[in-house]
Amino acid sequence: MKIVRMQTDAHVHLPPLAEKEADFYLHLPDPNWKAAVVSHNPEEFETSSALGQLLPGCIQGYGIHPQGLNEKGREFLAFLVERRRIGFIGEAGFEFFGDRPEWIRNEENLKLQREFFEFQLALAIEASLPLLIHSRKATDIILGYAPQLRRLPTLIFHSWPGRIYDAQAFLKKGVNAFFSFGTPLLRQASHGLECCKALPEDRILSETDAPWQPPRGCGWTKLDHIIPISRLIASVRGLQPEEMELWLRKNFDKAFMLEH
């Protein structure tokens, strides 16, 4: 019996990937590859949409990233939702890593980031679109929105940064949440491996964040890095790679509302 491979990538940035590898679309991990593509400014979105024409397995999204808050992005996002040009909103969320003044967790920065997050959350609820989350040192803040998050069709955490009890807290509060894992697993990130092992298997997603977050020794993340990522998730869960790939595809379709 022939095994059908189906790698699934829940987070890709096409324009910067094309800058690193112009013919990346000729080197997909497998013929059944499927991915969610993010953009954060109008120019990037239009370029991403054009590149996506080369990749029929892509779903396009757009969000106001907490690292680049601006009113232009707010207006453009509302336009895209109204015209039904995107399949999800994101990345939206909070950035408090603290390595820049605007990313320090203080009252002023929190107020501004809340304003943009709440705008995108409300828009996703109104349009019944999945919301994809970027979160650094802000899991507690996002959990505080649980009553609103329950109204979303799905919530997707990009590069899930929390512990297993944090993930379980969202699920216990009735949030239809999915948790995505990428190249940090290849660096043996203990919290990520812990979550991959303990989460329900229907809540796990795989991603590359290509071309960002490169594995050790690599200049950038390529699309085929999804293969060792999905295999590691399979190994942690004690499954065969093809069995895990099937779960990851099913979860992707549910998270991004692509089920038929």
Secondary structure in 3-state letters for 99-119: CCHHHCCCHHHHHHHHHHHHH
DSSP assigned state of 85: -
Tell me what pLDDT residue 3 has: 60
| Residue 246 DSSP label | H
Give the chain's largest Cα–Cα span: 60
pLDDT at 1: 44
Give the whole-angstrom CA distance, residue 63 versus residue 93: 9
How many independent structural domains does the chain possess? 1
Does the residue 34 lie in any domain? Answer: yes
pLDDT digits (tens, 9 = 90+) for 17-55: 999 999 999 999 999 999 999 999 999 999 999 999 999
Instruction: Region of 163 please: left (phi>0), alpha (psi -120 to 50) or beta.
Output: beta
DSSP character at residue 24? G
* Bond preceding residue 118 cis, omega within 30 of 0: no
Joined tokens for residue 78? 């509302």
Beta carbons of 143 and 173 less than 8 angstroms apart: yes
Each residue's pLDDT tens digit, 73-90: 999 999 999 999 999 999
The CATH number of the domain where 93 resides is what? 3.20.20.140
Task: For residue 189, give its domain range.
Answer: 8-255
**Is residue 33 domain-resident?**
yes
Q: Look at residue 28 and tell me if it is in a domain.
A: yes
**Adjacent-strand bridge partners of 221:** none
Domain membership flag for residue 46: yes
Q: Peptide bond before 211: cis, by omega within 30 degrees of 0?
A: yes
Which contacts (CB < 8 Å, 24+ apart) does range 17-26 have? 17/210, 17/211, 17/220, 17/223, 18/47, 18/51, 19/211, 20/211, 20/219, 20/220, 21/211, 21/220, 21/222, 24/222, 24/223, 25/51, 25/54, 25/55
Q: Quote the pLDDT of residue 250.
A: 97
Residue numbers of the chain with a pLDDT score lower than 70 = 1-4, 260
The helix/strand count (H/E) of the chain reads as 10, 8
Q: Specify if 1 maps to a domain.
A: no
**Domain-embedded: residue 137:** yes
φ/ψ region of 193 (left if φ > 0, alpha if ψ in -120 to 50, else beta) reads alpha
- Determine the pLDDT at residue 259: 77
Residue 166 lies in a domain: yes
**Is 21 a member of any domain?**
yes
pLDDT at res. 4: 59
Per-position DSSP letters for 172-241, written without gaps between them: HTT--EEEEE-GGGGGT-HHHHHHHHHS-GGGEEE---BTSSPPTT-SS--GGGHHHHHHHHHHHHT--H
Q: Whole-model pTM?
A: 0.96
